[in-house]
Amino acid sequence: MPHSAQKLIFFITKDDKMILSDKKILEAIDTGEIIIEPFDRYHLGTNSYDVHLGRHLATYKGEILDARKHNEVEHFEIPEEGFVIQPGVLYLGVTEEYTETHNSVPFLEGKSSVGRLGIDIHATAGKGDVGFCNTWTLEISCVHPVRVYKGMPIGQLIYFTVEGEIENYYNKKKNAKYNDRTIRPVESMMWKNKF
């Protein structure tokens, strides 16, 4: 079982009331606690919401990445006929959907149909923070060449309740590195950390 799946099962089985159902997601949208733009009721599952691959991809320009330096990326658009992603290359993608989550923890997981094509949509960053307000950058890799298309279902957002009051919302943190609203994938900002 993949490590990310083990972590997800831990959260679900720890307390069966922690994950939001479709009705709870709709209630949170009605109150503004969750925002999904664009929103389509058709994409709401039993306990998740499907998100789609945006038209922009990016790859790093350098052959060797340096965690202490700003590694620049080259952006490009997925053409109508799709784009073939290759093994051994890290592609940064982005969701079509802009989301806000103000009272729960959003998790982004790949759809099983995407996984069965040998595509991973994130390396480590599946969990969002309460207060995250943006599109989601995807860390896309594949096992063998796969043609992908803009607008294809790529992942699903799952929401977990939070116990206790929030002091430090992500969108209000002074040192938050991914707050600027964008429709393009954002490269690593690790270089902004002090280490």
Q: How far, in Å, CA of 54 to CA of 179, rounded?
A: 18
Q: How far, in Å, CA of 166 to CA of 145, rounded?
A: 43
First to last CA, the chain: 34
Q: How far, in Å, CA of 192 to CA of 118, rounded?
A: 32
139 in catalytic set: yes
Nearest CA to 7 among 82, 100, 109? 109
Which residue among the candidates 74, 139, 163, 167 is catalytic per the annotation?
Answer: 139
- What SS3 state is found at 88? coil
- Contacts of residue 64, Cβ cutoff 8 Å, sequence gap at least 6: none
Query: Which active-site residues does the annotation give?
Result: 139
